[in-house]
Amino acid sequence: DGYFYQRVAECRFSSKDLQGIELIDSYVFNQAEHIRFNSTVGKYVGYTEHGVYNAEAWNSDAAFLAQERGELERVCKHNADLHYSA
């Protein structure tokens, strides 16, 4: 009964070197991941028909894509010291 929507953004740290940080931003609907932004890839990737459609649209919008790419600097790298001090 009902629908489940979840968006999970996470910073993955492989070392203390800030170049090793990766941003993963996933969109999940009814427990299936439909679309994901991976900062290593630098664009959105769709995993379902709807996800592929959205990925193409979002990747074609330069301002939208630049904003997502900026999240790596704004969120992940900015808060790296908190991660390593914990």
Summarised one tens digit per residue, pLDDT across range 43-81 is 999 999 999 999 999 999 999 999 999 998 888 888 777
Name the pTM for this structure.
Answer: 0.81
For 20-48, write each residue's pLDDT tens digit.
789 999 999 998 999 999 999 999 999 99
One DSSP character per residue, 13-70 reads: ESSSSGGGEEEEEEEEETTEEEEEEETTTTEEEESSHHHHHHHHHHHH-HHHHHHHHH
Q: Is 67 exposed, middle or buried (0-12, 13-18, 19+ CB in 10 A)?
A: exposed
Over residues 2-19, the mean pLDDT reads 84
Domain residue ranges in the chain: 5-85
CATH number of 5-85, picked from 3.10.320.10, 3.30.470.10, 3.40.50.300, 1.20.140.10: 3.10.320.10
Six token digits for residue 54:
């959205």
Greater confidence (16 vs 74) lies with 74
